[in-house]
Structure 1
Amino acid sequence: MNQEVSRTKRVALEVRKTLSEILHRETKDPRLSKVNITECKISKDLSVVTVYFTIIGQNEADQAAQDAIKALEKAKGFFRTEVGKRMNLRITPEVRFFYDTVAENASHIEELIFQALHKKDEYK
């Protein structure tokens, strides 16, 4: 079982690397120029890869992020085909894109902690 887990992690890392190369070297859509892939998770049977991405300086609600989501959805067949060509997998995984909100959530939590600490100082 450990070997299977490490295989899925290795494949996910390789898919991330491959998608990043495709995204930055071969994609001509200007909506994707600032997209960064942050993480890839792949199913145990390697049939579905979930790709998390972000745009530096943007959050999910911004227009640039919405445009990027549309562009990625439109091009996901292209990405799947290219991953299939470049990687030696029995099954080419279906690609699903999601905006990564981890940085936004961390920033929000930091702000809440900062506010709570300053409120505590006011009561002293």
Structure 2
Amino acid sequence: MSQLRVEKVQELMKQEISEIILRELKDPRIGFVTVTSVECTGDLREAKIYVSLMGSEQQVKDCWQGLQSSLGFIRREIGKRIRLRFTPELTFALDRSLDYSAHIQELLLKIQKEDAARTAPAPAEPSTEKETS
């Protein structure tokens, strides 16, 4: 199958799944979810959905369980919205890249602050000499 077609289907699925999670899922466990990418096999029979979850450890765990339980509903909605011969079998995968980039950003800011503190000029001591005019 054409790689261009697979890429187009992946992008369309990403948009539709984001829309479904945002507007259609009523599960209260599902909170801040970002669909970062979708990878399909060449024959479009299977799709892996990469999601980034925000919140505390317990919120992430609950959200993950909510997403897993909604896989059937999401697959059915994808089948209705995207006209394909076969609706792909969906699986979720956790994408930690946003967490990693936030961690790197914190480290860079910490280094920048330390660098600024180290290179800041020492405050000038007050002069004890009297100026003569």
Band the TM-score falls in, shorter-chain normalisation: 0.7 to 0.9
Report the residue type matching 2:77 in the other structure.
Answer: E
Deviations along 1:16-64, one digit per CA (max 9) or x if unpaired, are 11111211221110112422212111111111111111234x36xx111
Residue 65, structure 1, aligned to residue 36, structure 2:
no
Identity %: 33
TM-score relative to the length of structure 2: 0.74
How far, CA to CA, are the matches of 1:34 and 1:111 in structure 2? Answer: 21
User: What runs of 5+ residues in structure 2 fail to find an aligned partner?
Assistant: 119-133
Q: How many residues align?
A: 119
Higher share in helix: 1
Distance 1:46 1:111, change over 3 A: same
Q: Is 1:88 aligned with 2:83?
A: yes
Larger Rg: 2
**C-alpha separation between the residues in 2 aligned to 1:77 and 1:5?**
27
Distance of aligned partners of 1:11 and 1:114 in 2 relative to their CA distance in 1, 3 Å threshold:
same
- Residues 33 and 108 of structure 1: CA distance in aligned 2, closer, same or farther (over 3 Å): closer
Other-structure match for 1:30: 28
Which secondary structure does the structure 1 equivalent of 2:70 belong to? helix
SS of structure 2 residue aligned to 1:19: helix
Give CA-to-partner distance per residue, 1:43-87, whole Å, 9 cap, x none. 11111111111234x36xx11111111111111011111111111
- Distance in 1 of aligned mates of 2:21 and 2:36: 13
Aligned position for 1:75: 70
Distance in 2 separating the partners of 1:51 and 1:33? 17
TM-score (structure 1 length as normaliser): 0.79
